[in-house]
Structure 1
Amino acid sequence: MSNTPVIAAVDGSEHSLRALEWARKEAVRHGCGLLVAHVLPDHAQLYAGRRASLHDASEPQEIPDPVRDWVRSLLGAGGPGLPEGVAYEALEGSVPEALRVIGSQARMLVMGSRGRGGFASLLLGSSSRAVASTAACPVVVVPHAERGAAPGAAPGAAPEADADAEQSAGRVVLGLHAAETPEDVLTFAFTEAAVRGTTVQVVSAYAIPPSPTLVIDSPFAVIPPEGLADEGDGVPAEREMLRSQTERLAPLRERFPDVPVEQAAVPGDPAGRLVIASRAAALVVVGRHHPRRTAMSLAIGSVAHAVLHHAHGPVAVVPTLKDDV
């Protein structure tokens, strides 16, 4: 078993339960441990500080933590503890900072799109956005049920139609700018596809002049590399983008020979196209920062920001080493 864990951030809400279930399956796929992390609420942190300052031996050694008991009841299989390979840790501090610190050595950090304190109308909670913007590890945000679409479901299909589908049933969708997306992002996407035994669908978007006949929400074509012969009939911008994709993906194909690859070059907004693709995806993978941002910038890229807000399934936001140098 790998020493690098998958971390599930929980707060006892239904949203964090979905993240915990997703993270538990992910840890099994990777053969690694699962660490369940809960940032204590302010009143519990105040109690812990008071107890420590008074050094009162009569006070219980363990801080009351209903979320810990909730996790044990879910994962403990009827016993008082947690299964082998699963650990629980209560954290202090602000939610983004505490999770950023604990995630520094994680394979990935998984959290729900909204927490217990979020307004029902919010598409993405402030903590999820802040952690995805700053964590040193990949952050997977699992959307709440109202936004969900079962992996493998056809675009436009009702989410409940395939509610029991396995999360590994869909493909891994990679948002790629051939000239700019860092290698870490590609490696993460191919690794996730490999552990699932599924396909990587690579989606790149190109700008075109506005047209009244263009249907932005229309399905896009997936073209295999062998379909890029010079005598083809594709749009020049599309064909050039597909060629750039093929060149950029060549090293990944060599490293992951058993991972099928689909390539799609589509007109329009990249975030919108990734949201459409998320309807039939097990996971959407995007890079966090635009490479031209400064090393000290904490702002998340516009594509990642939009996909996090609107995707129908889990989204992995992958940082890069270049952001931290």
Structure 2
Amino acid sequence: MSNGLVIAAVDGSEHSLGALEWARRAALRHGAGLLVAHVLSDSAQLYAGRRSSLHDASEPREYADPVRDHVRDLLAAAPERPAEVRYEALEGSVPEALRVIGAETRPLALVMGSRGRGGFAALLLGSNSRAVATTAPCTVVVVPRAERASGAGAGAGGTVVLGLHTAETHDDVLAFAFAEAAARGTAVQVVSAYPVPPSPAVAPLDTPFTVITPEELVGDDGDTAPAERDTLRAQQERLAPFLDRYPEVPVEQAAVPGGAAERLVEASRSAALVVVGRHHPRRSLGALMMGSVANAVLQHAHGPVAVVPATHDEPV
């Protein structure tokens, strides 16, 4: 990401205000503007419709919007603000309104909390957050509630963790991860999974996985299992253009047996951000599907997750 616009979707809840703070910092990191988007409540939308239909000049021109006022106060008290900050009240359902503004502005990212005001408190991911992450035409960053993110490396010191399927992850996903790491001055940790046959000897999922740098990749005579070695080499092939484009970004590679989701969730405890692709462009039915890994990471991650859609039909 660089320049452009970061959107923060707010509804006044603590979850959304945490997303606002994440978006403010992201806009500063990338020299971008900040757009605060608030989908008006049903009562506010009904008022606006009534005033418009009746042409009643005696009614106030604007419906009182306490969310807007609260956001303005918070940003006024922030230690630093992006050069451009604007607020926009939206009408319609939350997923559709945010999908539309994402399509119109093509932001660097649309940032929202994992849950809003409604729904069940026990849910880790609200229905609106899931719907926006599934259908928005732009990258969506979902920020979990504070207690769920306790201990996560959301500060500048954490790495950017990239979930990479070497044959299917679109280059847009890699580009987002490297640009974010470059802006943060941190490393990209690449996690890929390789299939293993069922065996009682397979390590349990909570076993720490090995992280290497590209220079440490073993040769044919190493002790690494062939499937792991092949996965690490496939990673290198996919990463090569981005290593050339971002020579200042350190890269750590990890290949894990079995599924990637559990490992990415575990890595989210110390990561600044976990980046996953929404789905493979040739396997999706329009924009209505999300891959199993992206879905699982969104549901259970301990820190912010960026879900990146493919913006081209084929890898670039």
Alignment TM-score, normalising by the size of structure 2: 0.93
Instruction: Describe the SS at the equivalent of 1:88.
Output: strand
Count of aligned residue pairs for this structure pair: 307
Correspondences of 1:69-218 after superposition (within 5 Å): 69-77=69-77, 84-104=83-103, 105-152=106-153, 167-213=155-201, 214-218=203-207
Residue 285 (structure 2) pairs with residue 286 (structure 1): no
Q: Is the 8 A contact 2:160 2:180 kept in 1?
A: yes
Amino acid at match of 1:97: E
Map of 2:256 onto structure 1:
266
In structure 2, C-alpha distance between the alignment counterparts of 1:291 and 1:149, rounded to whole Å: 34
Map of 1:222 onto structure 2:
211
In structure 2, C-alpha distance between the alignment counterparts of 1:89 and 1:290, rounded to whole Å: 32
Kindly, what percent of the aligned residue pairs are identical?
A: 71
Instruction: Describe the SS at the equivalent of 2:89.
Output: strand
In structure 1, C-alpha distance between the alignment counterparts of 2:236 and 2:99, rounded to whole Å: 35
Q: Is the 8 A contact 1:76 1:83 kept in 2?
A: no
Q: Which runs of 5+ in 2 are unaligned?
A: none
Q: Is the 8 A contact 2:280 2:310 kept in 1?
A: no
The 3 A distance-change label for structure 1 pair 84 and 251 is closer
Correspondences of 1:33-44 after superposition (within 5 Å): 33-44=33-44
Instruction: Describe the SS at the equivalent of 1:38.
Output: strand
Q: Is the 8 A contact 2:157 2:272 kept in 1?
A: yes
Q: CA deviation at 1:252?
A: 0.4
State which drifts further: 282-291 or 142-151: 142-151
1:57-116 Cα shifts (integer Å, max 9, x gaps): 1111122111011101211239xxx98511111000010010011112211100000001
Alignment TM-score, normalising by the size of structure 1: 0.90
State which drifts further: 184-193 or 112-121: 112-121
Q: Is the 8 A contact 1:111 1:142 kept in 2?
A: yes
Instruction: Describe the SS at the equivalent of 1:89.
Output: strand
Map of 1:157 onto structure 2:
none
Map of 1:253 onto structure 2:
243
State which drifts further: 272-281 or 204-213: 204-213
Instruction: Describe the SS at the equivalent of 1:34.
Output: strand
In structure 2, C-alpha distance between the alignment counterparts of 1:188 and 1:257, rounded to whole Å: 15
Q: Is the 8 A contact 1:112 1:141 kept in 2?
A: yes
The 3 A distance-change label for structure 1 pair 174 and 89 is same
Map of 1:155 onto structure 2:
none
Residue 46 (structure 2) pairs with residue 46 (structure 1): yes
In structure 2, C-alpha distance between the alignment counterparts of 1:218 and 1:318, rounded to whole Å: 28
Amino acid at match of 1:192: E
Q: CA deviation at 1:31?
A: 0.4
Q: Is the 8 A contact 1:149 1:280 kept in 2?
A: no
The 3 A distance-change label for structure 1 pair 244 and 68 is same
TM superposition outliers: structure 1 runs of 4+ over 6 Å: none
1:247-298 Cα shifts (integer Å, max 9, x gaps): 1101000000000000000112111111011111000000001333245241
The 3 A distance-change label for structure 1 pair 3 and 242 is closer
Q: Which runs of 5+ in 1 are unaligned?
A: 153-165
Q: CA deviation at 1:138?
A: 0.3
Q: CA deviation at 1:223?
A: 1.7
Amino acid at match of 1:120: A
